Amino acid sequence: MDLFTTYFDAVSAGDLQADGAQESVLPELERVRMALTAPTTRGWFRKAGPGPKGLYLWGGVGRGKSMLMDMFARSSSKTVRRVHFHAFMQEVHAGIARAKSQGIQDTIQPVAQEMAEGISCLAFDEIQITDITDAMLVGRLFEALFAAGVAIVATSNRHPNDLYKDGLNRQLFLPFIALLQERMVVTELASPTDYRQNRMSGQEIYFSPLGVVATTAMDNIWLELAGGPGQSFSLEVKSRQVQIPNLRNGIARISFCELCGQPLGAADYLALTQEVKVLMLDDIPVLSRNNSSEAKRFVTLIDAVYEAQIGFIASAAAAPEQLYLEGIGSFEFERTASRLREMRANDWGQS
């Protein structure tokens, strides 16, 4: 089924709100989808020339880029692989490590060959480059994938010219930007509506007590915001790894035990809030002197979330003001409880 039919059927069914900006990018997505269905002989060693010109879709948060990416991937050939960019980069680093362990000098080629095997298109969500090492790796890897006939469709919050902006040795990254603009059509999704914020507005986002009702509510919100299964992601902070079990479309979901029961600190939580748009935290327990270390980390986490103004959704054993009634720091916890109450407001994060 073509993307126009899929999109307008969803609008007719009430699953989507008609949006002229979203409709305006459908022709480019459909162009790529149709090109991928054309008979061709592709592979690492047998290629009928380069693959079709891809698409780089950029725009503000919550405008529907990831939703359209999902629609494109579902409507396309099974040889289209949809992956979050962070998860992709972790695969790249793991593949390079394997190649090095085998004594391979040019580690990019075997990694690109493995990724290109059996696919016609890579669909990336949320491209962002913050590290010069990643910047150089991505440039060489994309060049190899394009040469292998793989089309690339990607979303980003930034125009290609703003990728790795003001980064160290950015001039080394400029050829990659030129390559993107040569091999991909750059299109802005300029919708005035932030659908992600609208979906959260007026909706309960703090569920207590813990139990089936709270868990079901969290699951439903995840499906509403993330739109599908998450991928595990490891965030590196000062040589430490912060494991996020579920990440999709800028939404991270993790349990209190996994995030506050580990020896993490302010730098870890700040890095997390810079990576995600919404944090879903499961199973916050009642806090006391028996778990005061976890309580201290929770306070630090909430401070980071509050300062970053990202969305926060949680399930907890009790209301904010009842979470920490006795133990070291329980008196000071009133500020954290106040922030939790503020973050439950309908207009949180909209300023």
pLDDT digits (tens, 9 = 90+) for 231-240: 888 887 877 7
Dist CA 125 CA 153 (whole Å): 9
42 against 52, higher pLDDT: 52
Is residue 43 very low, low, confident or very high in pLDDT (cuts 50, 70, 90)?
A: very low
Dist CA 72 CA 85 (whole Å): 17
Mean pLDDT confidence for 246-264: 93
CA distances from 121 to 148, 151, 317 (A): 11, 5, 45
The answer to whether residue 301 scores a pLDDT higher than 70 is yes
Is residue 74 very low, low, confident or very high in pLDDT (cuts 50, 70, 90)?
A: confident
β-pairing verdict for 251-255 and 240-248: antiparallel
Dist CA 251 CA 284 (whole Å): 18
85 against 210, higher pLDDT: 210
Mean pLDDT confidence for 59-72: 86
**Cα three-residue angle 250-300-215, rounded to 5 degrees:** 55
The answer to whether residue 151 scores a pLDDT higher than 90 is yes
Q: Which of 136, 290, 135, 281 is nearest to 215 (CA)?
A: 281
Q: Which amino acid is at 203?
A: Q
- Residue 100: the pLDDT is 92
- Residue 351: the pLDDT is 44
Mean pLDDT confidence for 160-188: 90
69 against 255, higher pLDDT: 255
CA distances from 200 to 194, 224, 248 (A): 10, 9, 16
- Residue 41: the pLDDT is 43
213 against 308, higher pLDDT: 213
Render 242-281 in DSSP notation, one character per residue. Answer: EEEEEEETTEEEEEHHHHHSSS--HHHHHHHHHH-SEEEE
pLDDT digits (tens, 9 = 90+) for 180-223: 999 999 999 998 887 665 555 557 889 999 999 999 999 999 98
- Residue 346: the pLDDT is 54
- Residue 44: the pLDDT is 44
Which structural domains are found in the chain, ordered by start?
3-188 (3.40.50.300), 195-343 (3.40.50)
Is residue 283 very low, low, confident or very high in pLDDT (cuts 50, 70, 90)?
A: very high
Is residue 49 very low, low, confident or very high in pLDDT (cuts 50, 70, 90)?
A: low
Is residue 47 very low, low, confident or very high in pLDDT (cuts 50, 70, 90)?
A: very low
Mean pLDDT confidence for 164-183: 88
Q: Which of 125, 126, 123, 98 is nearest to 110 (CA)?
A: 98
What distance lies between CA 145 and its chain's CA centroid? 22
Quote the radius of gyration of the chain (alpha carbons, Å): 22
245 against 346, higher pLDDT: 245
- Residue 45: the pLDDT is 43
Please, what is the average pLDDT of the chain? 86
pLDDT digits (tens, 9 = 90+) for 89-137: 878 888 998 999 999 988 999 999 999 988 999 998 878 787 778 888 8
**Rama region for 83: left / alpha / beta (φ>0; ψ in -120 to 50; rest):** beta
Render 133-161 in DSSP notation, one character per residue. Answer: HHHHHHHHHHHHHHHTT-EEEEEESS-GG
Dist CA 345 CA 197 (whole Å): 12
The answer to whether residue 18 scores a pLDDT higher than 80 is yes
